[in-house]
Amino acid sequence: MKRSILKSIVLLLLCCTSSLFAQTRQINGVVSDNLGEALPGVSITVKGTSEGMITSVDGKYSLQVNSANDVLVFSYIGYEAQNLKVGNQSVINVTLSESTASLEEVVVVGYGTQKKSQLTGAISTVKAADIKDLPIANAQQALQGRVAGVDVMQAGSKPGSEPRVIIRGRRSPNASSDPLYVLDGIPLSGGIGDINPNDIQSMEVLKDASATAIYGARGANGVVLITSRRGSKKDGKPTIFYDSYYGVTQALNTMNFMNGPQFSATKREAYRVRNSNGTLGGFQPDNIVFTDVELDGIAKGRSFDYIDALLRTGNIQNHSFGIAGGDEKTTYYMSLNYFKDNGIVYNQDYNRNVLRVNLDHQLTKNISMGMSTFINYSIRNGEGFNPLGGAMAENPLGVPFNDDGSLNFLPTEDGLRSNPLSEIVDGAYIDRRKTNRMFSGLYAEAKIIEGLTYRFNFGPDFTVNKRDVFQGTFTNARRLAPPRASTDNVNSFNYTIENILNYTKSIGKHNFNLTGVQSFQRNNFETNGVTVQDIPSETQQFYNFGNAAIIEGVRSDLIQRSILSYMGRVNYGFNDKYLLTATLRADGASQFGDNTKWGYFPSVAVAWNLSSEEFMQSISSIDLAKLRVSYGSTGNQAIQPYQTQGLLSRSVYNFGDNAVFGYGPNTIGNPDLQWETSRTLNLGLDFSMFRGRFTGSIEYYDVTTSDLLLRRNLPPSIGFTEVTTNVGATRNNGIEGTFSTVNMDNRRGFKWSTDFQFFINKEQFVDLPNGDDVGNNWYIGQPLSVIFDYKKIGIWQANEFEEARSFGSEVGEIKIQDTDGDGKFTAADRVVQGSGVPKFSGGVTNRFKLGNFDMSFFVYARLGQTIRSNFHTSNNSLFGRYNNIETDYWTPENPTNVSPRPNQNQERPIWNSSMNIFDGSFVKVRNINFGYRFTPETAKKLGMESLRLYSSIQQPFIFSSFISEHNGIDPETDIDASLGGNVSPAAWTATIGVNLTF
């Protein structure tokens, strides 16, 4: 190592000195393609310098060189680059051959790999290169806005929270809509948040039935294949790499709450005199309206911002250190990852530590084996606890600190409102989850005869997970009561066993590939927990339940399920022009009834490489055009087990002093439960034009899902409120597109490229057992969850006194729409007011490169969805007790139609659910990134192979009417449209990072 550095430095010095004495001379030439046609616009640079130019329209160039040792680099998009040493030539004519890289690119598919040109299904890829240079916290983030048809939603900025991923819309209201994640060939049961994103080589998103059918059982929601990095055999020399970033995080200033004077004005309004005839009178005197502390606060002009006091500048850091290499027989990849996110709210942080070891070994000539293993240890604080909720509600007139500077536990007389600052006193409130996970994908593969391989996969996945909660005496949860503590343990062991046979054969122009799989997966999920109160000393936290005076609850549970599958697949290609894939899969799942356990899922796909046809050869602008059609079915079994059987629940009672535990009917079993099936038609076009300057694919899909696993609500008078059944059908159809263009690539080394993707999906119910189902909130032609509620049309104004009364309302209260016009507000007045499903979502990444500098920015948009803001429900209660967001509320002097009149006699305004519905559209600048890659020579000088420094700003801007017009927070939330009332606010992050390899 040391020697090679030394060598290279010496070499470098020699080069420099030699060039000093060299003479400048002119080189001329013509660049053409294999057919002899001149190529204009080819860039030519002198390696290691910034000198360069591009060829003219007739393919000619001329430039100056200093030495015979200079190397010219000829590069052109869509062609293989060529390096030529100048020597003593003065005319250098070059023939560039078309690059086959993009066509020969290999894509990971289910149970194997395929050349991209041979694909028949709808598959999108995110490569390590797309994400490696960016500071991303988890694998899901890498998909957001980069893969068409994939909706990635992250609510708030809480450290350790994982975004939700939905591929091509939801198909089923109850069964899970999460995609299946497959890590190094093994389907995962747990999440993917434990994976170090730096270890990811590529992520393939399988979207249509042809691609996912191989995972038939769980393919209905799409499949994400994650492939981790492995060592390379090439030269036996190890590569050591270190990727790191550090950033600071601050809240985007989006939370505007009332200050002292605004709060007291609101409270005065809330206590307005109501005359005996129902009209509003004047204010009551302050000494009636306000308590002593409030009066004191008003007199002294006190106004304390608790939210500000609970927010801090967060920081985020990630260090990934590893080594990869190998020889003919063995390759290895090992990495260590440390990730720490200290959130912008005190008490919220997340730390992830991952060790990864990937090994491959050629045991004999025909047998290889290996493993990919990660061991994860993570600690998360503040998962279920957010002190901000209390801060948002806290009366700004209170006294947060005593005269001696200590915290005043009750800042006002309100016994419910303890000091939000006391929540973040060290040790007062602990909510910590520690997770240990070990996942391993082990395989052995044997070549039996030429073309036939057998592979055995075994994937154990252990998770041990412990959640501890401690609530001290001086917290809002306890409010001076003795401390409370709980521990919940989750112990899960999942494993997958697979036997795979694969046979490849070519006969002339006919290519065959046959795959057979037998797969068994078992999940075991054990939990236990205990909750106690009255621990003698707060310092004992959750470490001595035996000392607690009161046992509040103990619990444990076991959930088991298994899936057994058999699968066969045929790939056939003729002359690389006509491609066919046919798949059949049989899946049995333990969750279903004895007679309905098995489901059968066939699919077929054909593709036609148009561009390989003779008649297309003449159209030189088209490099590739491939049409794909697929149709097939996939299943979904993602429901909780034990639903085929009627189960009992405990209800506790006592007779005198004798406690008895009773058990009565709790759920109705449905012994006929079976697979939910999705049938997908997919039409796709892949293209590449102008020698790769414009590439992309467009997909149209139509998915009909029937036998929905619906948790159907039942009329409660039968003693049950729901049952899981197979009824109804949904449809998702839409268009998605991914495009990449190279907009500019000039001789000065300036390159500008753009990736654009969009996704338009229509999600709807097409069949329900009894048509529109108001009780379940399901409507034919509407998305799977809609906001169905009373519609606010304004505020009752003073001149509407009588009319308001006739509706049972008062002036200043919310006026809702009397939809059926019967002169009353009844359940029949509710209307559908949108859903969380966006009408359009998409992302644009622009990349610029000038010399060694690169820059990119990524804009993400999600438009047309409606959200239900629980942030408003919680913080716009207008009754003079809790603090409120700034809002334009009605008073006799301010006849607004925005918010109703403050009223002390209500915990929230009447019909308040109607004023929490907003347009949730947003456009976010997700990321602006600047980088500088040192030249290999400079890197070598520094003893490295490569070195890149970068700086990035994450989420600097959010554009949304919800924020700008309605005093809302970050509107990004789950597709179910419910924006949490107690979220950590959106944040922006400024990061610096380094990628280096030795």
Partner 1 sequence: MKNLINNILKKTARLIKFALIPGAVMFSSQSCDNPLEEVVVSNLSNSYINTPKGFNDAVSAAYGYLRTYYAQEIGMSMSQLGTDTYTNGADGSYKRYNFYNGELNGRDNWVRTLWREFYKGINTCNAVIDRGTEIKGLSPAALASGVAQAKALRALYYFTLVQHFGDLDLRLSETNGPITEITRTTESAVYAQIIKDFNEAYPALPKRTGQWGRMDQMAVDGFLLKVFITKATRPFGSVADFATAETHGKKVINSYDRSLVSDYAKLFELGNDQNSEAVFSVQFSYDLLSAGGFGNRWHLYYLMEYDTQAGMSRVLEVGRPWKRLRPTNYTYNQVMVNRSVDSRYDKSFRKVYKATRAGTFPTFLDKSKATITVAVGDTAIFMPGFEMSEAERAKRPYQVYTPSMYNEKQFETLSKFLDPLRASINEVQGGRDFVLIRLADVHLMVAECLIKQGKQAEAVTHINLVRRRAAFSGKAAQMEITTAQATMEFLYDERARELLGEGHRWTDLKRWGNLVERVKLYNPEASANIKDMHNLRPVPDEQIDLVDGGNTAFPQNPGY
Residue 11 or residue 648: which is nearer to partner 1 going by CB?
648
Q: Segment contacting partner 1 (CB under 8 A): 71-79, 769-777, 965-973, 981-989? A: 769-777
Residue 306 or residue 879: which is nearer to partner 1 going by CB?
879
Smallest gap from Cβ 463 to partner 1, in A, equals 18
Residue 18 or residue 826: which is nearer to partner 1 going by CB?
826
Q: How far is CA 835 from CA 299, 762, 817, in A?
A: 47, 11, 19
Residue 544 or residue 645: which is nearer to partner 1 going by CB?
645
Structure-token pair, residue 699: 């997909």
Scanning 209-340, the segments in alpha helix (DSSP H) are 209-212, 260-270, 286-289, 292-299, 306-310
- 646 belongs to the binding site for partner 1 (CB under 8 A): yes
Q: How far apart are CA 25 and CA 65, in angstroms?
A: 6
Q: Segment contacting partner 1 (CB under 8 A): 46-54, 334-342, 495-503, 688-696? A: 495-503
Residue 106 or residue 559: which is nearer to partner 1 going by CB?
559
367-392: string of b/e by CB count within 10 Å (b at 16+)? Answer: ebbbbbbbbbbbebbbbebbbbbbbb
Residue 14 or residue 481: which is nearer to partner 1 going by CB?
481
Smallest gap from Cβ 348 to partner 1, in A, equals 25
- Interface pick for partner 1 out of 283, 663, 957, 959 (rule CB under 8 A): 663
Applying the rule CB under 8 A, the residues between 150 and 169 that interact with partner 1 are: none
Applying the rule CB under 8 A, the residues between 497 and 536 that interact with partner 1 are: 497, 499, 520, 522, 533-534
Query: What angle do helix axes 292-299 and 260-270 make, rounded to 10 degrees?
Result: 130
Smallest gap from Cβ 509 to partner 1, in A, equals 26
Strand pairing class (946-959; 987-997): antiparallel
Smallest gap from Cβ 557 to partner 1, in A, equals 5
- 652 belongs to the binding site for partner 1 (CB under 8 A): yes
Applying the rule CB under 8 A, the residues between 260 and 289 that interact with partner 1 are: 278
Smallest gap from Cβ 4 to partner 1, in A, equals 42
3-state SS class at 774: coil
Q: How far apart are CA 119 and CA 206, in angstroms?
A: 11
Q: How far apart are CA 873 and CA 857, in angstroms?
A: 35
What is the DSSP code (8-state) at residue 116? G
Applying the rule CB under 8 A, the residues between 798 and 857 that interact with partner 1 are: 807-809, 825-827
What is the helix (H) or strand (E) element at residue 952, kind and residue range?
Answer: strand 946-959
Q: How far apart are the first and last CA of the chain?
A: 9
Smallest gap from Cβ 119 to partner 1, in A, equals 30
Smallest gap from Cβ 52 to partner 1, in A, equals 56
Q: How many beta carbons lie within 10 A of that of residue 776, not counting itself?
A: 18
Q: Segment contacting partner 1 (CB under 8 A): 246-254, 464-472, 666-674, 697-705? A: 666-674
Residue 545 or residue 752: which is nearer to partner 1 going by CB?
545
Structure-token pair, residue 61: 């160039």
- 661 belongs to the binding site for partner 1 (CB under 8 A): yes
Residue 100 or residue 560: which is nearer to partner 1 going by CB?
560
What is the DSSP code (8-state) at residue 612? G
Applying the rule CB under 8 A, the residues between 175 and 194 that interact with partner 1 are: none
- Interface pick for partner 1 out of 129, 653, 821, 893 (rule CB under 8 A): 653
Applying the rule CB under 8 A, the residues between 406 and 445 that interact with partner 1 are: 413-415, 444
Smallest gap from Cβ 825 to partner 1, in A, equals 5
Residue position matching structure tokens 């040792």 = 69
Is-contact 242 257, C-beta < 8 A? Answer: no
Q: How far apart are CA 911 and CA 891, in angstroms?
A: 18
- 101 belongs to the binding site for partner 1 (CB under 8 A): no
Q: How many residues of this chain interact with partner 1, rule: CB under 8 A?
A: 100
Structure-token pair, residue 37: 């046609």
Q: How far is CA 843 from CA 122, 147, 205, 474, 955, in A?
A: 19, 9, 17, 47, 13
Smallest gap from Cβ 94 to partner 1, in A, equals 50
Q: Segment contacting partner 1 (CB under 8 A): 234-242, 254-262, 709-717, 731-739? A: 709-717
- 364 belongs to the binding site for partner 1 (CB under 8 A): no
Structure-token pair, residue 590: 């333990």
- 600 belongs to the binding site for partner 1 (CB under 8 A): no
Applying the rule CB under 8 A, the residues between 929 and 968 that interact with partner 1 are: none
Q: Segment contacting partner 1 (CB under 8 A): 16-24, 141-149, 253-261, 557-565? A: 557-565
Q: Residue count of the chain, please give it.
A: 998
- 645 belongs to the binding site for partner 1 (CB under 8 A): yes
- Interface pick for partner 1 out of 591, 738, 764, 883 (rule CB under 8 A): 591
| CB-based contacts of 926, cutoff 8 Å, min separation 6 | 144, 145, 843, 858, 859, 860, 954, 955
- 560 belongs to the binding site for partner 1 (CB under 8 A): yes
Is-contact 145 159, C-beta < 8 A? Answer: no
* x-marked contacts with partner 1 along 289-328 as a string, rule CB under 8 A: --xx------------------------------------
Residue 434 or residue 522: which is nearer to partner 1 going by CB?
522
Applying the rule CB under 8 A, the residues between 712 and 731 that interact with partner 1 are: 712-721, 723, 725
Smallest gap from Cβ 459 to partner 1, in A, equals 11
Q: How far apart are CA 805 and CA 811, in angstroms?
A: 8
Q: How many beta carbons lie within 10 A of that of residue 481, not counting itself?
A: 12
- 558 belongs to the binding site for partner 1 (CB under 8 A): yes
- 552 belongs to the binding site for partner 1 (CB under 8 A): yes
Residue 97 or residue 770: which is nearer to partner 1 going by CB?
770
Q: How far apart are CA 114 and CA 200, in angstroms?
A: 19
Q: What are the residues facing 601 on neighbouring strands?
A: 585
Q: Segment contacting partner 1 (CB under 8 A): 653-661, 832-840, 864-872, 934-942? A: 653-661
117's torsion region: left (phi>0), alpha (psi -120 to 50) or beta? alpha
- 550 belongs to the binding site for partner 1 (CB under 8 A): yes
Applying the rule CB under 8 A, the residues between 461 and 490 that interact with partner 1 are: 478-482
Q: How far apart are CA 124 and CA 149, in angstroms?
A: 9
3-state SS class at 769: strand
- Interface pick for partner 1 out of 106, 648, 744, 780 (rule CB under 8 A): 648
Smallest gap from Cβ 877 to partner 1, in A, equals 10
Structure-token pair, residue 927: 């990321």
Smallest gap from Cβ 801 to partner 1, in A, equals 13
What is the helix (H) or strand (E) element at residue 9, kind and residue range?
Answer: helix 2-21
Smallest gap from Cβ 774 to partner 1, in A, equals 4
Q: How far apart are CA 744 and CA 754, in angstroms?
A: 10
- 564 belongs to the binding site for partner 1 (CB under 8 A): yes
Residue 911 or residue 918: which is nearer to partner 1 going by CB?
911
Smallest gap from Cβ 742 to partner 1, in A, equals 48
Q: Determine the residue type at 495.
A: Y
Q: How far is CA 282 from CA 3, 590, 893, in A?
A: 90, 68, 11
- Interface pick for partner 1 out of 235, 308, 557, 965 (rule CB under 8 A): 557
- 654 belongs to the binding site for partner 1 (CB under 8 A): yes
Q: Segment contacting partner 1 (CB under 8 A): 92-100, 253-261, 346-354, 646-654? A: 646-654
Q: How far apart are CA 394 and CA 408, in angstroms?
A: 13
Q: Determine the residue type at 254.
A: T
Q: Determine the residue type at 111.
A: Y
Q: How far is CA 170 from CA 464, 731, 762, 783, in A?
A: 30, 9, 10, 9
